[in-house]
Amino acid sequence: MALLPGTDTPAQTPGEIVNETELFSRSQHLITTCTQVGLSVAAAESLTGGRFVATLVDVPGASAVVRGGLITYATDLKSRLAGVDADQLEETGPIDEVVAAQMAAGAARECVADIGVSCTGVAGPDPQDEKPVGLVYTAIAFAGKAQVSEHHFEGDREAIRSQTVAAMMSDLDDFVTRLAFGPEADETVEA
């Protein structure tokens, strides 16, 4: 799978738990934008355990956008449910940018969605497979390509999971905005 150039998603203040009101507001914006441009979304979530999709479906009208989600918390489920290459998992372990890209593509494919979103990482409290607590990969897959972002979050388990959901929303919002309005969308100003 080809990788599109990634964008650096600004992290929250180190250790910050993103509040539910902010996440709901981001979800509303995403649901509105995706509805307007006619895009559907699915997710493959590991460390967030379904929180990303749950946050999206809190918004009335989400059924026009959200196709579903895969909870691939266990490593073997990343392969069995999301179609991540088993050899890739054996070689790199589950916390890897290629794994994140394949998870996102698998979510889109298995849920028959336009866009797949994924996350894999270490929420803590202990490192995993020699990967540090707070290392998270998020990915967006669309039309056979994926954009992966690497994050280094701080804080406790809850803060890292919350920041991951916020990063997934930010990644998706940036991607959908560029898709709908072109690469210059970030440079637009109010008229």
DSSP 44: E
Position 182 confidence tier, pLDDT thresholds 50, 70, 90: confident
Position 190 confidence tier, pLDDT thresholds 50, 70, 90: low
Structure token digits, residue 97? 């940018």
* Number of neighbours of residue 129 by Cβ within 10 angstroms: 11
Model pLDDT for residues 130-142, shown as the tens digit of each residue: 999 999 999 999 9
For the ranges 14-23, 71-80, 119-128, 175-184, the lowest mean pLDDT is seen at: 14-23
Return the domain boundaries, the chain.
2-6+19-182
Average pLDDT, stretch 20-39? 95
pLDDT(11) > 50: no
Residue carrying the six token digits 């600004």? 10
Q: What is the pLDDT of residue 185?
A: 60
How far apart are the C-alpha atoms of 180 and 191, rounded to whole Å?
A: 18
Q: Which amino acid is at 110?
A: E
Q: What is the pLDDT of residue 120?
A: 99
Structure token digits, residue 21? 């009101």
Q: What is the mean pLDDT of the chain?
A: 91
Model pLDDT for residues 33-49, shown as the tens digit of each residue: 999 999 999 999 999 99
Q: What is the pLDDT of residue 183?
A: 74
pLDDT(123) > 80: yes
List, in sequence order, every beta strand (DSSP E) within 11-53: 41-45
Q: What is the pLDDT of residue 72?
A: 99
Q: Is the pTM of this model over 0.85?
A: yes
Closest CA to 55 of 15, 74, 87, 28: 28
Q: Which fold has domain 2-6+19-182?
A: Maf protein (3.90.950)
Position 14 confidence tier, pLDDT thresholds 50, 70, 90: low
Average pLDDT, stretch 52-77? 98
Q: Which SS3 state, helix, strand or coil, does residue 156 take?
A: coil
pLDDT(4) > 50: no
Q: What is the pLDDT of residue 5?
A: 39
